[in-house]
């Protein structure tokens, strides 16, 4: 993994925990140490040992040099070096050198009982896994998600898809894209992340105050919630622009949860737009706090869009989580979001990068608590019927040769 544990990657923790519960012996290797002090409860339940590879080679020179010397004696060193040289010829960067160095450390330190490498994300982690697998003479496979799919060069995706045993990905849009690049379509499987509903129990009936809240009372504003990192693809610039277009007499408040390098600039932008008193920036939060905010909110919004470098969301887990709590969702038609939200049935979708359309959708639902209740109930029923954790995990587990759950087998 690129980093572990990370608050923004609950879906990876869910998968690790589920595979652990099914008896797959695991060791975790992270290219970075965590940058957040808080963790989710599920991280405390994962018992697999974690090894941190050197994030920068120069910070652990003795470890890297010893690993390289051991790696040079491995029978696969020549093949790994040739693949690395081919990659470096097309991407001459320090990052590429670092990946090979990390792979030498990984391969040289692997215990003898390791039989397969599995990388989360098709970009950097898959590069390290591929080089290390060649060095150690092991098979490898990968899980692809969002940024790694849409920002990795096509040549690199083709070569990794050819070299990996198999790849799973979390949306039909991504599966079709990767299958078109693979040597044969059977290499790529669809496995929605899904939700562990034991951690997200169904919501109780909304309080009468929520059902009456329509934005007409200043002392009782409609609470909007958005959960996502403050990065370009999440569209928070568009969301702020949409909020600035809402009628002055409409009373609302936005709560944002998530880290990200644009948080300060977004807060400053909210101030320029005159929105600062109505927006609360909570930063990254553990799952207990996120769940509490889902249950306090009246409406969830995520203005996903395609970033300038091609990065985009896959199928954001936060939309599924919000729906699992009966929250009506307003989002965009980017990527796989329409695989979850059926416009006007289980939520509202607008074109990405269109603050005017987003403002209209938000104004409509702020004013109409009955529509919020209808969409929230429909979304909750859909996500609980079709997006459980077990369905996706069964696909991944089958790739590892593990049996399906008893519930899935019935």
pTM comes to 0.89
Whether the predicted pLDDT of 209 surpasses 70: no
227 - beta bridge partners? 257
**Predicted confidence (pLDDT) per residue in 106-152, tens digit:** 999 999 999 999 999 999 999 999 999 999 999 999 999 999 999 99
Tens of pLDDT, residues 36-47 = 888 999 999 999
Quote the pLDDT of residue 63. 98
> In this predicted structure, what is the pLDDT of residue 212?
82
**Whether the predicted pLDDT of 299 surpasses 70:** yes
Mean pLDDT of the chain: 94
Average pLDDT (77-100) is: 97
Confidence (pLDDT) at 249 = 94
Q: How confident is the model at residue 407 (pLDDT cuts 50, 70, 90)?
A: very low
Phi, psi of 50 (to 5 degrees): -115, 130
Residue closest to 324 by CA, chosen among 208, 236, 198: 198
Average pLDDT over residues 159-188: 97
What pLDDT, on the 0 to 100 scale, is given for residue 211? 76
Q: What is the 3-state secondary structure (H, E, C) of the chain?
A: CCCCCCCCCHHHHHHHHHHHHCCCCCCEEECCCCCCCCCCHHHHHCCCCEEECCCCHHHCHHHHHHHHHHHCCCCCHHHHHHHHHHHHHHCCCHHHHHHHHHHHHHHHHCCCCCCCEEEECCCHHHHHHHHHHHHHCCCEEEEECCHHHHCCCHHHHHHHHHHCCCEEECCHHHHHHHHHHCCCHHHEEECCCCECCCCCCCCCCCCHHHHHCCCCCCCCCEEEEEECCCCHHHCHHHHHHHHHCCCCCCCEEEEEECCCCCHHHHHHHHHHCCCHHHEEECCCCCHHHHHHHHHHCCEEECCCCCCCCCCCCCCCHHHHHHHHCCCCEEEECCCCHHHHCCECCCEEEECCCCHHHHHHHHHHHHHCHHHHHHHHHHHHHHHHHHCEHHHHHHHHHHHCCCCCCHHHHC
- Does domain 10-194+389-399 fall under CATH 3.40.50.2000? My reply is yes
How confident is residue 202, by pLDDT bands cut at 50, 70 and 90? confident
| Whole-number pLDDT of residue 203 | 81
Q: Does residue 406 carry a pLDDT above 60?
A: no
pLDDT, residue 408, reads: 40
Given pLDDT bands bounded at 50, 70 and 90, which one contains residue 410? Answer: very low
Band (pLDDT 50/70/90 cuts) for residue 207 is low
Write out pLDDT tens, residues 312-355.
Answer: 999 999 999 999 999 999 999 999 999 999 999 999 999 999 99
Extract the tokens encoding 312. Answer: 């985009």
Mean pLDDT, residues 379-404 taken together: 92
Once rounded to an integer, what is the mean pLDDT over residues 285-310?
A: 95
Q: How confident is the model at residue 409 (pLDDT cuts 50, 70, 90)?
A: very low
Tell me what percent of the residues of the chain surpass a pLDDT of 70. 97
Assigned token pair, 409: 């087998």
What is the mean predicted confidence (pLDDT) over 262-271?
97
Inform me whether the pLDDT recorded for 8 exceeds 90: no
Q: pLDDT tens across 379-390, in order?
A: 999 999 999 999
CATH, range 208-386: 3.40.50.2000
Instruction: Assess contact for 125 and 98: CB atoms under 8 A.
Output: no
Locate CATH 3.40.50.2000 in the chain: 10-194+389-399, 208-386
Neighbours of 283 (CB within 10 A): 14
Name the packing angle between helices 172-181 and 154-163 (round to 10°): 80
pLDDT at 381: 96
Q: What is the pLDDT of residue 156?
A: 98
């Amino acid at each position: 993994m690129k980093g572990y544990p990370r608050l923004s990657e609950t879906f990876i923790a869910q998968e690790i925990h589920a595979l652990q519960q099914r008896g797959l012996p695991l060791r975790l290797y992270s290219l970075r140490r965590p940058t957040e002090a808080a963790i989710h409860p599920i991280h405390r339940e994962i018992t697999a040992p974690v090894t941190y590879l050197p994030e920068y080679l120069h910070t652990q020179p003795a470890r890297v040099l010893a690993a390289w010397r051991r790696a040079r004696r491995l029978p696969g060193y020549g093949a790994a070096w040739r693949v690395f040289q081919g990659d470096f010829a097309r991407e001459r960067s320090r990052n590429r050198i670092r990946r090979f160095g990390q792979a030498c450390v990984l391969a040289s330190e692997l215990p003898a009982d390791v039989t397969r490498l599995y990388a989360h994300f098709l970009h950097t982690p898959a590069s390290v896994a591929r080089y290390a697998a060649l060095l150690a003479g092991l098979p490898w496979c990968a899980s692809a998600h969002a940024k790694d799919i849409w920002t990795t060069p096509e040549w690199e995706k083709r070569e990794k898809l050819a070299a990996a045993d198999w790849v799973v990905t979390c949306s039909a849009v991504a599966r079709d894209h990767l299958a078109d690049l693979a040597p044969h379509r059977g290499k790529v499987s669809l496995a929605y992340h899904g939700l562990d509903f034991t951690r997200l129990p169904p919501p109780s009936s909304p309080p009468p105050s929520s059902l009456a809240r329509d934005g007409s009372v200043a002392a009782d504003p409609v609470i909007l919630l958005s959960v996502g990192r403050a990065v370009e693809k999440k569209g928070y610039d568009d969301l702020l622009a949409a909020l600035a277009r809402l009628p002055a007499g409409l009373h609302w408040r936005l709560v944002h949860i998530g880290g990200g390098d644009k948080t300060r600039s977004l807060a400053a932008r909210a101030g320029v737009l005159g929105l600062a008193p109505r927006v609360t920036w909570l930063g990254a939060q553990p799952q207990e706090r996120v769940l509490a905010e889902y249950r306090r909110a009246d409406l969830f919004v995520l203005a996903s869009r395609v970033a300038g470098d091609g990065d985009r969301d896959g199928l954001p887990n936060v939309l599924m989580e919000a729906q699992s709590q009966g929250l009506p969702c307003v989002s965009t038609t980017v990527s796989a979001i329409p695989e979850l939200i059926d416009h006007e049935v289980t939520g509202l979708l607008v074109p990405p990068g269109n603050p005017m359309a987003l403002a209209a959708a938000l104004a409509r639902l702020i004013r109409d608590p009955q529509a919020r209740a209808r969409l929230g109930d429909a979304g909750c029923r859909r996500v609980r019927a079709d997006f459980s954790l077990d369905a996706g995990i069964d696909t991944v587990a089958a790739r590892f040769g593990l049996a399906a759950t008893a519930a899935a087998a019935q």
